[in-house]
Amino acid sequence: MRLARGLPQKAKLRGVDKVIAVSSAKGGVGKSTVAVNLALSLAMQNKRVGILDTDIFGPSVPKLMRLEGSEPRVDDQNRLIPLANYGITAMSMGFLLPTADAPIVWRGLMVMKALQQLLHDVAWDNLDYLVLDMPPGTGDVQLTITQQVIVDGAVIVSTPQDIALLDAVKGINMFKKVDVPVLGMVQNMSVFVCPNCNHETHIFGTEGVDREAQRLGVDVLGSIPLHASICKLSDAGTPVVIADPDSPNAKAYMDIAARILRKA
């Protein structure tokens, strides 16, 4: 069904109550790690949660969720059945590739076809929340998602660094333009904590996200430190909220998830 202007009608995804997009509009700021830990944190607060990796060219969810090498089955309606680990379900283009290091060398039409399959041909099982791990940028993929799917809120991830904030602000303005509520910003890699002496160093600056959030009239949902354990556990496919749930690092994610629950 199409509107008079030719744009697709936004619709809810089958089997999903609410959709939360986690975006950065820039690569390299730890957005996928944040998305996975937030999805797991939501599940730990008694919610049925899934995560959809919409980054066609650089899917990270299979590794972060320790699901590399797994292949989804297909149900009797020819829909992909999500894979599961750590109490949540997941779908990613990475599950459909022959190997984890296989490149995707596609033009736009093929990318859009793959995205359509991920959006509309996955058998989600009555989720309270589906977290979208969004790719970098503000282009075709982002517009397709926000024009076709009812997104209940967007979480913008950025480091405090000015160069990252430039793209984060573009992401916020994009979501506002397509009428997606911006739930707030997450300041990732806010401070480096030395694993030996716990000394704190603000490698990327201190107040960048707070400054931009105040200027744009959005909330800061919380800050995540740059800590060796988060990086190491993520690379091992054991997110910190699962591997070390009582740590301050895990608590930072849990607090952000609690704020998201109050907003969406």
The answer to whether residue 229 scores a pLDDT higher than 50 is yes
Q: Return the domain boundaries, the chain.
A: 16-263
User: Which segment of 3-12, 52-61, 244-253 scores lowest on mean pLDDT?
Assistant: 3-12
Mean pLDDT, rounded, for 182-190: 91
pLDDT category of residue 204 using cuts at 50, 70 and 90: low
Contacts of 28 (CB under 8 A, 6+ apart): none
* Total-model pTM: 0.90
pLDDT digits (tens, 9 = 90+) for 162-171: 888 889 999 9
Is the separation of the CB atoms in 62 and 94 below 8 Å? yes
The answer to whether residue 190 scores a pLDDT higher than 90 is no
Q: Looking at the domain covering 16-263, what would its CATH class be?
A: alpha beta
The answer to whether residue 6 scores a pLDDT higher than 80 is no
Tell me the C-alpha distance between 108 and 225, whole Å.
36
The answer to whether residue 5 scores a pLDDT higher than 60 is no
